[in-house]
Amino acid sequence: MAWLALELEVAAAHAEAMADALLELGAISVSSTDADAGTAQESPLYAEPALAAAFAWRRNRLTALVAPRTDVAHLLEAAAHAAGLAAAPRATTTRVEDQDWVRRTQSQFGPIRAGAHLCIVPSWCEVPDDDHMVVVRLDPGLAFGTGSHPSTRLVLAWLERSLRGGERVLDYGCGSGILALAAAKLGAADIAAVDVDPQALEASAANARVNGVELRLATPGALAAEEFDVIVANILARPLIALAPELAARARTGARLALSGILDAQASEVGSAFAPDFETCAAASEDGWTLIAGVRR
């Protein structure tokens, strides 16, 4: 079986975020070289949590290995959006013959702990031998959210701390459905998961079947007018700011809110956008990413 190697260049300041996004969206591996010098100062094979590259380079050349039938244009657009790039970079593609890439991929993605008891476990891994563990089965795919990115782990840990059982939950921008799945496993009674990307909704539906849980899946415009007890959104700062009125309208009085995908430097601006309707605070931070939590007035 042949695979596709995608080669693209990005500004060094965006290399880590772009590499993280490609891996979250299903790339088997990503390596990096100094595009300006044309030599490989580092060329690691890595999966998470981030690219360990020296940002003294002005531009980085990333090489990502992906499945042969990957929609390359869609992948690059989704990764660029997740990484905060204004536009998707161009990429050249090369066929790569099978070198047991599946096994190499599986060796890179293992169980991921988020919080005290929540664990994200790929299908090829054994479930941890712990009766108190809450397990979500999830494989990497072409939708954001495997648990490897700090922004996702922050919300997963928040859900574990916050849910008591029986809540009505909205996962806005669900991607792979990881947050909605975790909410279901943690006892939420009714979970709506919305995304503008049909591929994300398909991935969420497939992951719900694997985990034996029920999600109400819809595009944002198709979601019925209703209020929720808990709202989570792991997107990016700018879209979150724009969504503040929509999320406020979906939250009942006293509803709890968790926002992620926010760089530490952006936390104040995002918090201010939600302040008219929510009591907000920066609740947690990891590797430069902040989670903002709030309660609906």
Residue 230: inside a domain: yes
**Residue 43: is its pLDDT beyond 80?**
no
pLDDT confidence bin for 99, thresholds 50/70/90: low
pLDDT in tens, 125-159: 898 888 889 999 998 765 677 887 889 999 999 99
Residue 122: inside a domain: no
235 lies in the same domain as 99: no
Cα–Cα distance, 149 to 39 (Å, whole number): 28
85 lies in the same domain as 203: no
Choosing from 77, 105, 133, the residue where a domain stops is 105
Tell which wins on pLDDT, 296 or 197: 296
101 lies in the same domain as 160: no
183 lies in the same domain as 290: yes
**Residue 37: is its pLDDT beyond 60?**
no
Residue 135: inside a domain: no
Q: How many domains does the chain have?
A: 2
Predicted model pTM: 0.71
Check which CATH number belongs to the domain holding 94 and give it.
3.30.70
Classify residue 102 as exposed, middle or buried by CB count within 10 Å of its CB (0-12, 13-18, 19+). Answer: middle
DSSP annotation of 220: G
Token duo for residue 39: 């030599």
Check which CATH number belongs to the domain holding 160 and give it.
3.40.50.150
87 lies in the same domain as 210: no
- pLDDT for 143 equals 61
Structural domain that includes position 199 = 149-296
Angle (CA) 158 127 151, round 5°: 30
Query: Where are the alpha helices (H) located in 65-143, listed in sequence order?
Result: 72-83, 101-108
pLDDT in tens, 188-214: 999 999 999 888 899 999 999 999 999
Residue 168: inside a domain: yes
Residue 93: inside a domain: yes
**Are 3 and 93 a contacting pair, CB within 8 Å?**
no
159 lies in the same domain as 87: no
Phi, psi of 24 (to 5 degrees): -60, -35
- pLDDT for 142 equals 54
Q: Is 75 helix (H, G, I), strand (E, B) or coil?
A: helix
Q: Give the side-chain half-sphere CA count within 13 A for 141.
A: 19
pLDDT in tens, 153-167: 999 999 999 999 999
